[in-house]
């Protein structure tokens, strides 16, 4: 009985998780993408679902298996991700933005496959909307909003900047310093940074265990 209670600590909570990369079309057969596997977001969706939450997962292209009971919304581009987030956000208690969203997309998508002609080719890019920042401006006091940060320099300082500018409750800093950590691997090394300035450093561990650490941190601020 007691175990059941601790296991279902997210019962009644509506959770939105985003995961995976976005693909930004160049022409009908090409895109600009990134190396995100979706593993971290899928693990978070899985763990929160296991702990009793009602989870909607919005995912870019990923080979990960959708956890049982999780509602999946598939997207391709940053624009589609933004639309899906806006459609679902107001109705959620907790949102975890782990998708690797493209910062730029081709300004024009060619109607036809681009043929090779000259020795070089430039493609003009335009900025995408910052989805997390957009959600941060819509967020009510009752909603919890969590972001990720990937930095290669001034990690803590840059992550703190994102925490504030995007109006997050906490940010999960992904450290690329260790072997095996980051985008495509099975492990991550994270630091959780709070609104109150506390930093929680975690060891390099399997993404499913990182997801449990994140879930426990959410419980501590619920």
Please state, as a whole number, how many other Cβ atoms lie within 10 Å of the Cβ of residue 131. Answer: 25
- Residue 131 binds to ligand CTP (criterion: CB under 6 A): yes
Q: How far is the CB of 31 from ligand CTP (least distance, A)?
A: 16
Q: Annotated binding residue at 212?
A: no
Q: What angle do CA 140, 101, 116 make, to 5 degrees?
A: 155
> Which of 75, 84, 99, 215 contacts ligand CTP by CB under 6 A?
99
Token pair recorded at residue 135:
């959600």
What is the contact mask toward ligand CTP in residues 136 to 165, using x (rule: CB under 6 A)? -----------xxxx-----------x---
Question: Rg (Cα) of the chain, in Å, rounded?
Answer: 18
Round to whole Å and give the CA distance between 143 and 34: 29
Taking CB within 5 to 8 Å according to partner kind, which of Ca ion, ligand CTP, none is near residue 206?
Answer: none
Segment holding 18, helix H or strand E:
strand 14-19
Round to whole Å and give the CA distance between 61 and 195: 32
Q: Annotated binding residue at 166?
A: yes
Is 34 considered catalytic here?
A: yes
Per CB under 6 A, residues contacting ligand CTP are 78, 97, 99, 101, 103, 128, 130-132, 147-150, 162
Report the binding-site residues: 103, 113, 148, 162, 166
Q: Which active-site residues does the annotation give?
A: 34
């Amino acid at each position: 009985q007691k175990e059941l209670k601790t296991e279902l600590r997210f019962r009644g909570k509506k959770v939105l998780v985003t995961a995976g990369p976005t693909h930004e079309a160049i022409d009908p057969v090409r895109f600009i993408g990134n190396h995100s596997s979706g593993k971290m977001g899928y693990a978070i969706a899985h763990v929160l679902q296991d702990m009793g939450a009602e989870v909607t997962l919005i995912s870019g292209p990923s080979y990960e298996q959708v956890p049982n009971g999780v509602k999946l919304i598939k997207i391709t581009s940053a624009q589609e991700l933004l639309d899906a987030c806006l459609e679902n956000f107001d109705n959620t208690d907790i949102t975890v933005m782990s998708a690797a969203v493209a910062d730029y997309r081709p300004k024009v998508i060619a109607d036809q496959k681009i043929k090779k002609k000259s020795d070089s080719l430039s493609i003009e890019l335009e900025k995408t909307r910052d989805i997390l920042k957009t959600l941060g401006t819509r967020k009510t006091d009752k909603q919890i909003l969590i972001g990720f940060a990937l930095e290669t320099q001034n990690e803590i300082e840059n992550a703190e900047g994102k925490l504030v500018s995007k109006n997050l409750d906490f940010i999960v800093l992904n450290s690329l310093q260790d072997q095996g950590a980051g985008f495509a691997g099975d492990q991550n090394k994270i630091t959780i940074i709070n609104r109150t300035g506390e930093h929680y450093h975690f060891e390099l561990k399997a993404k499913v265990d990182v997801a449990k650490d994140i879930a426990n941190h959410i419980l501590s601020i619920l």
